[in-house]
Amino acid sequence: MLYLVRMDVHIPADMPAEKAAEIKAVEKAYSQNLQREGKWRHIWRVVGEYSNYSVFDAESNDELHDMLSGLPLFPYMDIEVTPLAQHPSDIH
């Protein structure tokens, strides 16, 4: 099942820069692994914001929740999830 996910990141201003950089590096490796596995199908930056829109392919709501809650930046995110269904006019 496909999900459209918006993630807005809010790293605390008082977080030390070294800690933020470490979390971001682990986040990047985690997200790229999910991309290689085909679970994180697409990711787009929202221009001018520390946000992204992504498409995930998960077998269930629980699997998606596990993927999202495994993100190192998860404690600093507002996340909005929209389940997607195939449109009847889609030619693919």
pLDDT tens track for 38-68: 999 999 999 999 999 999 999 999 999 999 9
Integer angstrom CA distances of residue 59 from 1, 63, 84, 86: 6, 6, 13, 15
Please report whether residue 92 resides in a domain. no
Number of domains in the chain: 1
Q: Tell me whether residue 25 is in a domain.
A: yes
pLDDT, tens only, 4-36: 999 999 999 999 999 999 999 999 999 999 999
pLDDT greater than 90 at residue 1: yes
State the pTM of this model: 0.92
- Per-residue confidence (pLDDT) for residue 46, from 0 to 100: 98
Distances (CA, A) of 61 to 8, 18, 23, 49, 84: 20, 34, 25, 27, 12
Q: For residue 25, give the CATH number of its domain.
A: 3.30.70.1060
- Distance (Å, whole) CA 1 – CA 56: 8
In this prediction, residue 92 carries a pLDDT of 82
Residue 79 has pLDDT above 90, yes or no: yes
Contacts 24+ apart (CB under 8 A), 70-74: 70/30, 71/7, 71/27, 71/30, 71/31, 72/23, 72/24, 72/26, 72/27, 72/30, 73/7, 73/9, 73/11, 73/23, 73/24, 73/27
Whether 89 maps to a domain, the answer reads no
For position 21, what pLDDT does the model report?
A: 97
